[in-house]
Amino acid sequence: MPRRSSPPRLERDRKRPSEGNWYIYWTEGRRSREHSTGTGDRDQAELYFAEWKLRRFRPERAVEPHEFYVADAISHYLAKRLDDVTDPERLANAAKPIIRFFDGYSVGDINDALIKEYCQKRRKGRGDKGLKDGTLRRELSLLSTAIRRAEEDQLITRKIAVRLPPKPEGRIRFLTCEEALTLIRVSRSFDSPLQDGVPTESKTEHLTLFLRIGLLTGQRKEAILSLRWSDIDFDSNIIYWNPIGRRRTKKERPSSRLPARLRKYLLRRRRRFPEDEFVITHRGKSLQNIKRAFRTAVVAAGLETDGDRKVVPHILRHTCATWLMQKGAPKWDACGFLGMTLETLEKNYGHHHPDHQRGAADAI
């Protein structure tokens, strides 16, 4: 009886598993086959693997879902999307547990029972810490989108529905003024090393500026880290968060007024590092993430690092929106400043506004 063909999989070189390159292994009929990715880096190997499968295994016509592997659908989607998203690492990380669990399954095998088994296994794998529904929803949304993309690109004849966990309630934790000041203060408290008797850039000096920009503009982490000096018009006091030539995403980035309280900090940074292209840099280099430095400051400030009140960079946006409402800012002005819809503002932050339900309360 002929050996059943198996889908290609990525493994470390079986002859040198501790130090070799990553290889693609699969079987066709009675023969085992292998192909080197030419790299020992797992992330680069994953990208090569996805592109290799697209070149070698793309069907000449759309096939039935039971003839198309889930891993191939995910690989196809990643190859199409990784270069277009603002956070490719997050997308790739969401795909890894999907690929591991559904290895060997076809798209046609997906049903409610299999999705339930996936959710149970993922929750069990996290032990006592558990796995939040939001994480499961994000992972399974990727699976659903990959299947839909496979149908749109005529790889499969029809899509298969993926039932998602219920959408969790949004986490609207915000910082009080005292908490925000403490966070900024501890970010400035790390000693600057001396070089030839002159203080150099401190370990978390860039974090202090990041905190101030986040609190005073309410923009997302990615927008702040990608902000260039050329995007700031100091004469007109306008920040262009979405300049011409930047790739557009579904996350709106408005042009916003430069707050006077922030302007002086930006000008000070500009004078200190006139050669930098980006506003947030460390030792002259732009940053892709600020998670580690942010967590260090959160711990030093005695703020929460776990649970529903966990303090993460996105809380700076929640804080700015909340403060605007508490100060009674006109809602349309706040929406334009934050790049947020009126519906989202009213739903999540409107109750902080001094005029919230005032008419009803006064009428009672």
Q: Which of the pair, 249 or 361, is modelled with greater confidence?
A: 361
Q: Which of the pair, 167 or 249, is modelled with greater confidence?
A: 167
Q: Is residue 261 pLDDT above 70, yes or no?
A: yes
Q: Is residue 201 pLDDT above 60, yes or no?
A: no
Q: What is the mean pLDDT of residues 285-305?
A: 90
CB count in 10 Å sphere of residue 156: 26
pLDDT band at residue 130 using 50, 70 and 90 as cut-offs: low
pLDDT of 312: 92
pLDDT of 210: 96
Q: Is residue 208 pLDDT above 70, yes or no?
A: yes
Query: What's the half-sphere exposure (Cβ side, CA atoms, 13 Å) at 91?
Result: 19
Q: Is residue 292 pLDDT above 80, yes or no?
A: yes
Q: Is residue 194 pLDDT above 50, yes or no?
A: no
pLDDT of 8: 81
Pairing of strands 238-240, 232-233: antiparallel
Locate all alpha helices (DSSP H) within 84-195, ordered by sequence.
Answer: 88-101, 112-125, 133-152, 177-187
* Domain segments of the chain as ranges: 1-41, 58-168, 177-362
pLDDT of 228: 94
pLDDT of 197: 47
Beta carbons of 100 and 74 less than 8 angstroms apart = no
Matching fold, domains 58-168 and 177-362? no
Fold of 177-362: hpI Integrase; Chain A (1.10.443)
pLDDT of 254: 80
Tell me whether residue 219 is exposed, middle or buried, using C-beta atoms within 10 angstroms of its C-beta: 0 to 12, 13 to 18, 19 or more: buried
pLDDT in tens, 81-97: 766 666 677 777 888 89
pLDDT band at residue 198 using 50, 70 and 90 as cut-offs: very low
Class of domain 58-168: mainly alpha
Beta carbons of 241 and 255 less than 8 angstroms apart = yes
pLDDT of 240: 93
